[in-house]
Amino acid sequence: MSPLRTLALGALLLPLAAHANDPYSYAQPDEVRVTHLDLQLKLDFPHRQLDGQATLTLDWKDPKAGTLVLDTRDLTIASVASVDAGGTASPLPYTLAPRDKQLGSKLTIQAPQRPHEVRIVYTTSPAASGLQWLPPAQTAGKRQPFMFSQSESIHARSWVPLQDSPAIRFTYDAHVSAPRDARVVMSAPNDPRHPLDGEFSFAQTHPIPSYLLAIAAGDLAVRETGPRSAVYAEPSVVGKAAHEFEDTEKMIRTAEQLYGPYRWGRYDILVLPPSFPYGGMENPNMTFATPTVLVGDKSLISLVAHELAHSWSGNLVTAASWRDIWLNEGVTTYVQGRITEALYGKRQADEEALLDIHTLQRELPSLPLNAQRLAPKPGHVDADDSLSDVAYNKGSWFLRTLEQRFGRATFDDYLKSYFNHFAFQSITTEQMLDFLKPNLIDKYPGKMSWNEVQEWVYGTGVPKDAPVPDSPQFDAIDKERTAFLAGTLPAGKLDAKGWNTQEWMYFLDGLPDAPPLARMQQLDGAWHLTGTPNAEIGMRWYVHAIAAGDKAAWPAAAEHMTRIGRLYLTMPIYAALSKTPDGLAFARQVYAKAKNGYHPLTQQAVEALLAKAAKK
């Protein structure tokens, strides 16, 4: 998943009581594991539901076991049956437990004969947490409805009954029936020339965890960007997207030169409607991406570098639990930086690394000590804590430290061997460390002690000697910002004409929490930040303008909040407005208009924020 979206999973407050194998799953993989999924789906746009049939191939681990336990959320189960080698189905008794608010409903299937396959016929809920159904009015083209999934972290269970844990990997086949004018894509190889005949088939031959199961359908056009890559988007967006992502093949080749062959075949990008709650999602073969990165100058293209990097760190080598998620996100953020540096230069890569470092430094003091660890101690650790900036930014900072200590060539060789050794496996932090010690730390003695490694992984905060990149441009911006705030440098004299997106982000991030209103008005007058089409700059600007008391910026902020459903770019503005009674009332008005265009996760997050603000 893309970086800089700490708020994305704020609604997931999960107890550590589900099962010893995975606190966020009812599955019992020590007894039986799903190894393959055969999925039959029919898209029902009018009723906002999927009619599904999931046939699970099982590997019984315990000869005494006779029960299959699956994760579900808000599924209506029509039937459960075993399937013999000849395809004959025999009903099986099952129990669907009452719904847990976070985990969903435990589906317990009695299967004393330990069948090779079990088939579940079911229907999803219109309110499925892992699906969003958009009417035509909420799409760019406004001609056809649109549907897409978001399975990470534990939302696959809302549209498929399965063992919803990153430790359990399976291959899948799928056949999807859809309206004849809709194109369907999934997290499997997609055919850009597939006719719009209403019937689509997919085969994911590599074992993946459930959170990487993905589907989307709607009015989608295709532009190929290379021999193994294409962009999918609504017709009015696809041209702009193809231009922004025209370097995709270069990115793939760059990553291959560093870390070995791309093993998934095709790498396509789906640009979703603005309601997509995240920056990007690394679904295998088909990255789901936000349209907010389409700014025209490729300044936010590192999002694609990040999702592509997941093809090695995350999709190829996967964290076995959400507690270990830094193995996905920290390693990926490091690899993203290497791809960005190779294609767009060290200046941009260092600036992005510094932005990550400063974000982490701002967040750390507010986090519980256990949440500051890359690998938290056992206890109550929520999925949203695991997916904080610690996983992304402290994790990547640790890898940059390893690179500095051991040298880039040596560390590249190590990381390539790591990906090869654990390919298509889900691993824990401890398995990673057991590989790191003999193959890097002990192999090159005197570079880094094992105590230092353990401090990075299990310690709170960040080690004092953590290396920080140099950025002369950021240093110059610091001086200009100080002079501007002091009143000795007029806003119009800022040397900002050549600033890229990252440099504007840095300038705005360094402003006081409540900057002087006059200074903000001068800045807006000189640089026309209100109404900017760049959502990264816009989010930061509106937060500061609101804090300064500039109500003239509120209408443009409302337009931004209504147009964009990405949590990271929307929630800070709601939070800024909610600090005053007038702002809270305005935020409620904006949400009432925007709600139907938001993803269920965004709705849940905004409603929780507004409710909390009302109690203050």
Q: Is 392 annotated as catalytic?
A: yes
Q: How far is CA 111 from CA 71, 82, 541, in A?
A: 16, 8, 58
* Active site (annotated) includes residue 480: no
Q: Which of 9-13, 292-296, 382-386, 420-424 has the highest mean pLDDT?
A: 420-424
pLDDT of residue 469: 95
pLDDT for the residue 1 = 80
Length of the chain, please? 616
User: Under 8 Å CB-to-CB from 521, ≥6 apart: which residues?
Assistant: 550, 552
Residue 612 token pair:
């909390």
**pLDDT value of residue 4:** 45
Q: Which of 152, 234, 307, 341 is catalytic?
A: 307
Closest C-alpha among 30, 354, 312 to residue 167: 30
Q: What is the mean pLDDT of the chain?
A: 94
pLDDT of residue 2 exceeding 80: no
Taking the model in full, what pTM does it have?
0.93
pLDDT in tens, 105-164: 999 999 999 999 999 999 999 999 999 999 998 898 889 999 999 999 999 999 999 999
Cis peptide before 153 (omega within 30 of 0): yes
Instruction: Spot the catalytic one: 26, 262, 392, 542.
Output: 392
Nearest-angstrom CA–CA distance, 557 and 530: 8
pLDDT in tens, 557-600: 999 999 999 999 999 999 999 999 999 999 999 999 999 889 88
Per-residue pLDDT tens digits for 440-478:
999 999 999 999 999 999 999 999 999 999 999 999 999
Q: For the domain bounded by 472-615, which CATH number is listed?
A: 1.25.40.320
Residue 116: per-residue pLDDT = 97
Measured CA to CA, the distance from residue 548 to residue 109 in angstroms comes to 58
| Phi, psi of 239, deg, nearest 5 | -65, -45
Q: What pLDDT does 275 receive? A: 86
Residues of the chain with CATH 1.25.40.320: 472-615
Beta-carbon-side half-sphere exposure of residue 537 (alpha carbons within 13 Å): 19
CATH number for the domain running over 322-458: 1.10.390.10
**Burial class (CB within 10 angstroms; exposed 0-12, middle 13-18, buried 19+) of 528:** exposed
At residue 363, the 3 state secondary structure works out as helix
Task: From 418, 419, 355, select the one nearest 389 (Cα to Cα).
Answer: 355
Per-residue tokens: 372: 């500051």
Q: Are strands 32-44 and 49-60 parallel, antiparallel or unpaired?
A: antiparallel
> How does pLDDT run across 160-208, given as a tens digit for each residue?
999 999 999 999 999 999 999 999 999 999 999 999 999 999 999 999 9
Euclidean distance between CA atoms 297 and 309, whole angstroms? 21
How many angstroms separate the CA atoms of 204 and 142, rounded? Answer: 32
Q: Look at residue 54 and tell me whether its pLDDT is greater than 90.
A: yes
- What phi and psi, each to the nearest 5 degrees, are found at residue 287? -65, 130
Instruction: Name beta bridge partners: 201.
Output: 175
Structure tokens at 480: 């200009």
What one-letter code names the amino acid at 460? T
Question: Quick one: which of 128, 178, 125, 146 has its CA closest to 270?
Answer: 146
Share of the chain above pLDDT 90, in %: 89
Integer Cα distance of 500 and 523 in angstroms: 17
Give ∠ CA 249-206-128 in degrees, rounded to 5.
95
**Sign of the dihedral defined by the CA atoms of residues 508, 510, 512, 514, in that order:** positive
Q: Give the span between the Cα atoms of 534 and 560, in whole angstroms.
A: 10
Which two structure tokens, joined as six digits, stand for 590?
A: 């904006």
Q: Where in the chain is the domain with CATH 2.60.40.1730?
A: 26-309
Q: Is 11's pLDDT higher than 80? A: no
pLDDT of 277 = 85
| Sequence ranges of the chain with CATH classification 1.10.390.10 | 322-458
CA gyration radius, the chain: 24
Q: Is the CATH number 3.30.420.40 carried by domain 26-309?
A: no
What's the mean pLDDT in 407-415?
98
Instruction: Label residue 36 exposed, middle or buried (CB < 10 Å: 0-12, 13-18, 19+).
Output: middle
Could you read off the pLDDT of 252-281 as tens digits, one per residue?
Answer: 999 999 999 999 999 999 999 988 888 899
For residues 616 and 606, what is the distance between their CA atoms, to the nearest angstrom?
16
pLDDT at position 83 over 50: yes
User: What pLDDT, on a 0 to 100 scale, did the predictor assign at position 443?
Assistant: 98
Question: What does the alpha-carbon distance between residue 512 and residue 482 come to, in Å, rounded to a whole number?
Answer: 11
Run of H or E including 247: none
What per-residue confidence (pLDDT) applies to 601?
A: 86
> In this structure, what token pair is assigned to residue 360?
């982490």
The whole-number pLDDT of residue 193 equals 93
Neighbours of 203 (CB within 10 A): 11
